[in-house]
Amino acid sequence: MTTGVGDIRRDPWLKASIDAFADTVRGLGPVLDVGCGPGTVTAYLAERGLDVSGVDLSPRMIENARRLHPECRFAVASATELDLGEASLGGVLGWWSLFNLPRDVLPQVLALFARALKPGGHFITGTHVGDEDAVRTEAYGDVPVRWTTHKWRPEQLVNLIEQAGLNPVAELRLPPTEYSGPGLVVMAKRPG
Ligand SMILES: C[S@@+](CC[C@H](N)C(=O)[O-])C[C@H]1O[C@@H](n2cnc3c(N)ncnc32)[C@H](O)[C@@H]1O
């Protein structure tokens, strides 16, 4: 059972990206899904035999993730405060979860991820494409929220990933749909 959030099975290109990531990092070491939300992708990767765990800033998300996927490990943590050992991970995901980070904070988080990857380990991210900072004040119908989505131009985000010390290996541009604006998936590798 899933909440429908993050259900990559509904989108062949997102599914293909995550499958490629899974095939690439299999056997390289633990995988961390940062900003895992309700754990849909975490559980998908676990089903594919990866040693994966998820973290999310939101205790409610983690509560849901644990309820929906009791077989997986989840913890409440912010991407900005993760205590990750150097070269301890085979893979790290920032799957549609890094666009809320302030623009000047994202480079530090990418550097943290790069350091935590083993040489040959991979990072994958998906994000919204654009120039603007979109402020949202309601979600899920009429629940009041306050969050900002920092959209990125593909070349800007790829530059940041390179500056963090990772080598991009694939970029997938997703055109706007009826439901969302344009998107971008980038996979990158720690050299070595
Ligand atoms: C759009 S959801 C995506 C969830 C999941 N990755 C997926 O694709 O189904 C974004 C998630 O990022 C989390 N998030 C936002 N900022 C975060 C941060 N600084 N650290 C960890 N998680 C964060 C939110 O709580 C939310 O669950």
Q: Is the pLDDT of residue 140 over 70?
A: no
Q: Is the residue at 150 inside a domain?
A: yes
Longest dimension (CA), the chain: 48
Q: Answer yes or no: is pLDDT of 4 > 60.
A: no
> What pLDDT, on a 0 to 100 scale, did the predictor assign at position 28?
98
CB 127 near ligand 1, within 6 Å: no
Q: Is the pLDDT of residue 136 over 90?
A: no
- Compute the distance from residue 112 Cα to the ligand 1 centre, in Å: 17
Mean pLDDT of 82-86: 98
Sign of CA pseudo-dihedral 72, 36, 22, 178 = positive
Percentage of the chain beyond pLDDT 90 is 87
75 falls within a domain: yes
Looking at residue 90, which CATH number applies to its domain? 3.40.50.150
Confidence of residue 1 (pLDDT cuts 50, 70, 90): very low
Q: How confident is the model at residue 118 (pLDDT cuts 50, 70, 90)?
A: very high
R_g (Cα) of the chain, nearest Å:
16
Q: Residue 56 in contact with residue 65, Cβ under 8 Å?
A: yes
Domain that holds residue 92: 8-189
- Rounded to the nearest whole angstrom, what is the distance from the C-alpha of residue 63 to the centroid of ligand 1? 14
C-beta of 80 in contact with ligand 1 (< 6 A): yes
**Measured in angstroms, how far is the CA atom of residue 33 from the centroid of ligand 1?**
9
Of 156 and 136, more confident: 156
Q: How far is the CA of 98 from the centre of ligand 1 (A)?
A: 7
In a domain, 1, yes or no: no
Tokens 């706007």 map to which residue?
A: 176
Per-residue pLDDT reduced to its tens digit, 26-80:
999 999 999 999 999 999 999 999 999 999 999 999 999 999 999 999 999 999 9
Residue 2 belongs to some domain of the structure: no
Handedness of CA 135, 80, 154, 128 (dihedral sign): negative
Pocket perturbation via mutation, ligand 1, pick of 36, 64, 83, 97 by most ligand atoms within 8 A of CB: 97
Burial of 138: CB neighbours in 10 Å, binned 0-12, 13-18, 19+? exposed
Residue 106 structure tokens: 């994202």
The DSSP code sequence of the chain is: ---STT-GGG-HHHHHHHHHHHHHHTTTS-EEEET-TTSHHHHHHHHTT--EEEEES-HHHHHHHHHH-TTSEEEE--GGG----TT-EEEEEEET-STTS-TTTHHHHHHHHHHHEEEEEEEEEEEEBSS-EEEEEEETTTEEEEEEEE-B-HHHHHHHHHHTT-EEEEEEEE---SSS--EEEEEEE---
Residue 3 belongs to a domain: no
| CA 96 / ligand 1 centre spacing (Å) | 7
**Residue to mutate (ligand 1; options 31, 53, 56; most atoms within 8 A of CB):** 56
Q: Is residue 2 over pLDDT 70?
A: no
Residue 148 belongs to a domain: yes
Q: Does any domain span residue 182?
A: yes
Read off the pLDDT of residues 141-191 as tens digits, 9 standing for 90 and up.
777 777 899 999 999 999 999 999 999 999 999 999 888 899 999 999 999
CA angle 10, 89, 66 (to 5 degrees): 50
User: Per the structure, how many domains does the chain have?
Assistant: 1
User: Average pLDDT for residues 96-100, to the nearest whole number?
Assistant: 96
Residue 78 near ligand 1, beta carbon < 6 Å: yes
